Amino acid sequence: MKYLKLFEVFNSEVKFYRFNKFDILSDVEEMKLTPKQRKMVGPENVNDILVKNGFPDKQQCVHFMDQLAFRPDWKYLYGDFIYEIEIDDMSKLGWSFLFPVNDWFYKGNPFYHERNNPAIQDLLNSEYGNLEFSNGKLDEMTQYLLQYEVIGTGTLEDLKSSKFFGKQKLFVWTTDDVMVKKWNEPEKMAKDPNPYKSEPLLTSDDFLQRGVNKEQIGQFYQSEMGKRLKTIQPAGIIKPARFELKRQEAISLLDEWIKTL
């Protein structure tokens, strides 16, 4: 292992991003970061069952996300400092598609807002849909998630060969060293000094992920639920935190309308 570490080559082909609550780099452009002990979000036995199945230990890791999951305005939640992350091709990774891995076991609020995603619908129609973390079903839940490939572990090549790679939001962690680089905000965003949101609450991806075609999109906006968007759509600009709350309301309306199809 020491020999391999001498020849680490960090892969910049796949873009990953990380938020942090304090500045990692200070006055340098990039540096190698070695994972340290950290407090895991969620119960330890979820991490224990993942480690048992070969995943990196989330209690001593660096975590990051892909381009589909990355949104610069998440910094109000995760931290003001944003970085690009590069990983070694042979690093051992753990990953979770759609949302952070704990939500697959909790089936909580973020899970609810994604439950019309075909990937989740398939799982809910399996025995997984009846399994609950609180009933001591961690082993069974883990096996279903592994078999369906919404969670996984391996190298970068293993990750890229997953059926959901590049199609669903991705959250990753590793106990190996990573390269941390400063994230440069795109020019078109840098030109806008306004830190507030002013955009539609629902995006084309919201409809696409739920299997709603162009014709159905028009039907949604003409429906009673679609018309209710006007009552929650912010006028002008609002702060990101408030925008996210409004967006969740809009997604809930869309999800309820889909149930009527």
Q: What is the pLDDT of residues 55-64, one digit of tens each?
A: 999 999 999 9
pLDDT tens readout for residues 236-248: 555 666 677 778 8
pLDDT, mean of residues 223-235: 75
Neighbouring C-beta atoms of residue 112, cutoff 10 Å: 15
Q: What is the pLDDT of residue 71?
A: 85
Per-residue pLDDT at 93:
97
For residue 60, what pLDDT is reported? 92
Nearest CA-CA partner of 29 in 185, 190, 187, 180 = 180
| pLDDT bucket at 3, cuts 50 / 70 / 90 | very low
What is the predicted pLDDT for the residue at 235? 53
Q: Does the structure show a pLDDT above 60 at 132?
A: yes
pTM above 0.85, yes or no: no
Are 83 and 135 members of one domain? yes
Instruction: Say which residue, 228 or 148, is predicted with more confidence.
Output: 148
Model pLDDT, residue 13: 78
Quick one: 178 and 53 in the same domain? yes
- Give pLDDT, residue 246: 79
Domain boundary among 187, 205, 228: 187
Mean pLDDT on 152-166? 95
* 3-class SS of residue 174: strand
Confidence grade of residue 6 (pLDDT, cut at 50, 70, 90):
very low
User: Based on the domain organization, do 124 and 211 belong to the same domain?
Assistant: no
Same structural domain for residues 116 and 236? no
At 160-177, the pLDDT tens digits run: 999 999 999 999 999 999
Kindly report the backbone phi and psi dihedral angles of residue 46, in degrees, each rounded to the nearest multiple of 5, phi listed first. -65, -45
Give residue 90's Cα distance to chain centre: 22
Share of the chain above pLDDT 70, in %: 85
The mean pLDDT value for 192-206 works out to 66
Q: Which of 156, 187, 218 is the last residue of a domain?
A: 187
pLDDT score for 4: 42
The owner of tokens 């001591």 is 136
112 & 170 share domain: yes
* Domain match, 40 and 139 both: yes
**Lowest-confidence pick of 78-92, 169-183, 215-229:** 215-229
Please give the order of strands across the beta sheet that includes 30-33: 30-33, 178-182, 81-88, 10-20, 62-66, 170-174, 93-97, 151-154
Number of domains in the chain: 2
Q: Which domain holds residue 241?
A: 194-258
Cα(157)–Cα(90) distance, rounded to whole angstroms?
Answer: 9
Same domain, 244 and 161: no
**In a shared domain, residues 203 and 230:** yes
Residue 39 binned pLDDT confidence (cut-offs 50, 70, 90): confident
**Which of 149, 165, 187 finishes a domain?**
187
Residue 195 has pLDDT above 50, yes or no: no
* Tokens representing residue 259 in the block: 């149930």
Q: What pLDDT is stored for residue 108 in this prediction?
A: 76
- 67 plus 155 within the same structural domain: yes
Residues 212, 180, single domain; the answer is no
Structure confidence at residue 193 (pLDDT): 47
Q: Residue 190 has what pLDDT?
A: 46
- Alpha helices of 125-260 — where are they, by DSSP H? 138-148, 156-160, 187-190, 204-209, 214-222, 224-227, 229-232, 240-258
My answer on whether 134 and 164 are in the same domain is yes
Residues 33 and 156 in one domain: yes
